[in-house]
Each structure stands twice: as C-alpha cells, then as structure tokens.
Amino acid sequence: MEERLLTVNQLETTFLSEQAAVNAVRGVSFFLNRGETLGIVGESGSGKSVTALSLMRLIPQPGQITGGEVLYHKAGQEHPVDLLQLPRKEMRSYRGKELAMIFQEPMSSLNPVYRCGDQVIEGMVHHLGLSKAEAKTRAMELLEEVQLPDPKRIFKAYPHQLSGGQKQRVMIAMAMSCGPGVLIADEPTTALDVTVQKAILELMQRLKVAKKASVIFISHDLGVVAEIADRVMVMYKGEIVEQGPVDELFRAPKHPYTKSLLACRPPLNYRVRRLPVVADFIGAQTTADGTVAVVAKDTDMGQLLKGARITAAEQRRREKGLSSRPPILEVEGLKTWFPAGRTFWGQPKSYIKAVDGVSFQVRPGETLGLVGESGCGKTTLGRSLLGLAPVREGSIRYKGQELVGRHPDDWKALRQEMQIIFQDPYASLNPRMTIGRAIMEPMEVHGLYGNNVERRDRALHLLETVSLEPSHFQRYPHEFSGGQRQRIAIARALALSPRFIICDESVSALDVSVQAQVLNLLMDLRERYKFTYIFISHDLSVVKFMSDRMIVMNQGKIVEEGLSDELYNAPKADYTRMLINAIPQGILQA
C-alpha cells in the first residue's frame, strides 16, 4: 500500500480588494504519496501557484487562506500535522526542512546582493544546525549533484553572473539542501531552452529517487508534465476539474477544458492552419440569477481540424508563389561581436562572437523560423537586422538598400517598414503610459494620420484587430495579463503598417492556450496584411508551426537550414537532432 505524505482537504484562498473578494482557490482537495510526482496544469489565473503558496503558507497580503486543511504525514508521527493550524514560528521550521519550493523566476527569488553559495548554506545552518564550514562542504556537494560547472566559481558568484539554467539549478540545490519530504516546483522550466529543460527534468528525477522525495510539479507545458508526472490534476478558475493517472488522463480526457489544453499545443507530426483554442471547447452562459456559468461545447476535434489540416510547408509556398519572388532581405557574411574584456588602455582583449559569418535570404510574405539555444545568437541577429546592435562586418540589404553603416537618422524611415515584437511585454511597455498612448506614440513620432483624433481611431482599430476592447485604451500595462500585454505589443508594432516584422521569443512564456491565440493572430495578420516574418524561438514545435523555412543556429553560426517539415523530419546536423530529441515526447506525441 502506498504511503500517504500530504492530504489537502477543501482548501480555500481568497484575495480581498475594495471592489470584491476573489476566490483564487475554491474547495481544492488532493493527496500526494511518498515518492510520487503530482503534476498540476492549467492556465495563468487557474490557481496553480496560489495552491502551492497556500501549502507553504506564503500567501501575500491582501490574500488569506480562508478554509480547509493541509495534513502533512511526518515520518515517525502517528497523526498528521495540519500545517494551516501551526503557529507561525513552528511553520517556519517546516518550510525548507519538510516542504521546499523552487520558484518560477530564479532571478527574482534569488537575492541579488548575496553570493549563491551563501544562499544555499543558509537553510542548512538554520534547520540542520550545521556550522558554516560543514554547510559549505555540503553546499559544494549539492552544486556538483545538480551538475553545475565549476562549483567553486558558482558558490562565489552572484545571481546576475549566471545563466537562466544555472540559476535554476542553484534554486534546486537550495530546495534540496535540507532533504525535504515534499518538493514543490512552480514552473521550473518556463522559458528555458529544450536542452536545458531536459537536463533540469532529468536532474529532478534523479534527485527525487536519491532523496526519496515527493514532487508537486506545476506547469502549463503539458508535454513536460506528461514526461515527469505519475498523476496529474487540471485546474480551472480555482477549482480542480479533472485528475487521475497521467497516461489515462492525457490519452482519454473527460473534461472539455482538459481537451482544449491538449488541443492547443502545436502538433509535431502534422500541420494545421489554425490552432484550436479554449473557446472552441468551453463557453460562458448567464443563468437566471445573473451569475455566469461555464458550459461545455459539443466540439468534435476531427471536425474542428477538418479543412485546417495541411500536409507541408511546401504546399503554402506553392499556393503563395513564395519561392519565385525576389528576396526582400539579403544577409551576407554578417558578424556582430562584443568585447569580452578590455585592457587598461580600453582595447578589447577578446570578443564574444554572437553572430559570426551568417548569410541567408527572406522572400516577401515568407516566415523564416530562427531556432537555437539561449546564447546561440538568435536575438542578436534579429537586433542587428534592425540596427539595434552594432554590426562588425557583412551586408544587410532590405529591398536592395544596404543597411550596414547607415546613419542613425536614416533609420527613421525604415522603422515604418521594419518592426520588432520583443520577448518581454513587461519590459517593452512603459508602465506609466496607457496602452492607448503607447500605440499612438509611434504614429506621432512619424507624423502619421494628421492629428490625434485620427491616431486614436487607428489605435482603437488596432486594439480590435488584436481582440482587445476599446475600453482598454485608457488602462495601464499592469492591468493586463501576459497574453493581453503581448497582444498590445503586437498592436503597437502594427501602428506604422510595417511590411517586415521580427518576432523575438514573443510567445515563449505564455500559457499553451494564450500561446495558441497569439500564434493564430500572427498567422491571420500575415494573411491579411501580407507580412514577412522572422520568427525567433527556442521552441521547435512553435517555429515549425509558424514558419515556411527554418534556420538552426549554434554559437553564432548557421548549422542547418531548409523547409520546416523537411528539416524536422530529416535533420542533417547532429545539433538539430539534439534539439529535436530534447523536445518532451511523453505520451502527447503518441
């Protein structure tokens, strides 16, 4: 018989505001057995992270746990302990030692002013009573266990000196330092490369077995959950709508919301013109008493994809005549290098060759996918094309015009033609500017549409184009979800009616359902306005869905290029095969 480690009964967590009380977690009940991995999936706002924070009693104000019990079955004790009833001081003794958490964003959860090693040893000194010397020895062992290169350097390093994957491993070392019974991993691989993600998942599996720990793994990536979890529960609007063994639930989902999450993922074994979205499976209905109820739609997946399924990228190329058009962009021998260090006299000691001798072409109306790991040069290449990064050598011709060496003032006219959608809409939108003003600003800079009345009308039209409401015009960025902010960024990029758009990791951190909506939007805009895209991502399934041709980059160079389907189905380069093999297969690709 399996040994129960954690039992959650009717958990309720509420956030109070001046307007109303928001029930973020409503009557959630589940259990966790010793040595088991439980996956929790759902969109942003479904209550996944709030559930995890409630278990740790880390809910920030104005939130509070308003009901339920969290029973922890501690080894050697006859009766379980209700963590929600413990005094604060006693609860602190459980955090880190009995239950530990790997937070979603290691840069914000690691203290930037303390060295990584000091943060790893802190819990061991506090919970295990080790001396600093003993804790340091154990910390070095942990850093080796999580396969960090040069543990001595990592121990002394500050968080900003490490890559995203390295920071995440430091967080895992911190979480495992006191040998907790329950490890809660909240989106631990979000926005990581597939290769780094694979390494992190394998590491967590090894540590779970070695430490005999149980894991609660929270993610919106169903492929990752299928790979790592034994059981899975699906959350929607603060409630559990379905749970069961991972293979059973993903092969034969019963709830329409689970079906919609599975359908939203870009398929790897065939192509569709449009991805299904949650709205295809679930609708809202106002009841007699005025409340809004969620209702399931009678959706047939086969019928939904009928007419949307296509055989290959080559079919679109033939239909649109893409291959016969002269290139809109020609890149030859492009090099963008950055100094890696300077001498006393200011001369570079060596260079980081971010882009090193890259050549390719893009034809009008085409979508060129650019894929590779972080640090391979994808983003630097995109920024170099738009004059946002200094080019050392080479040629960039747009519609026959040479862009390398142009004076900054000469770029203004080209900005109308060439735009970029940045990866992080948090950072690329001014928090002090309403989204209406953010969309109107480039029109004012370029003197378009005569006056602000016409510009406002254009901005409202763009909001409608990206499926936002006119009432959103006066709101600020913090009032929107991640998916909505990304749509605002798209609307702003469209403000100047460009012809050529670079999408830089524009869906990498979005939920699978929101990602499907944004990808469908980008596809619709491409067909409506005849855009040419360069689509940059580390997610090969997304690049394959979006692009006609694909380029694979590694260490600043192009290692392979070709039609998306051909490159995926018959890769020639070992590096490309490694990227494909790192994609979580699980049971979702069966």
Q: What is the pLDDT of residues 244-277, one digit of tens each?
A: 999 999 889 999 899 888 888 888 777 777 888 8
Residue 240, judged by CB atoms within 10 A of its CB (0-12, 13-18, 19+), counts as: buried
CATH tag, 316-581 = 3.40.50.300
Return the pLDDT at 274: 82
If you average pLDDT over residues 563-581, what whole number do you get? 91
Token digits of residue 550: 């694909």
Return the pLDDT at 51: 95
Q: How far apart are CA 184 and CA 189, in angstroms?
A: 13
Residue 366 CB partners (closer than 8 Å, separation 6+): 317, 322, 532, 533, 548, 549
- Locus of tokens 């689970």: 258
Q: What is the pLDDT of residues 300-327, one digit of tens each?
A: 666 555 555 555 556 666 666 677 789 9
Asked if residue 588 has pLDDT above 50, the reply is: no
Q: How far is CA 347 from the centre of its chain?
A: 38
Asked if residue 589 has pLDDT above 50, the reply is: no
Q: How far is CA 447 from the centre of its chain?
A: 36
Map residue 490 onto helix, strand or coil.
helix
Name, of 14-28, 287-301, 357-371, the range with top average pLDDT: 357-371
Strand partners, 352: 338
Full strand arrangement of the beta sheet holding 99-102: 99-102, 182-186, 214-218, 37-41, 231-236, 239-245
At 590, is the pLDDT very low, low, confident or very high (cuts 50, 70, 90)?
very low
At 343, is the pLDDT very low, low, confident or very high (cuts 50, 70, 90)?
confident
Fold classification of 1-98+220-253 is Rossmann fold (3.40.50)
Q: What is the pLDDT of residues 362-407, one digit of tens each?
A: 999 999 999 998 778 998 999 999 999 999 999 999 999 999 998 8
At 235, is the pLDDT very low, low, confident or very high (cuts 50, 70, 90)?
very high
How do the domains of the chain map onto residue ranges? Answer: 1-98+220-253, 255-310, 316-581
User: Rg of the chain's alpha carbons, rounded to an integer?
Assistant: 25
- Prior bond to 62 cis, omega within 30? yes
**Domains 1-98+220-253 and 316-581 alike in fold:** yes
**78-82, 320-324, 544-548 — which is least confidently predicted?**
320-324
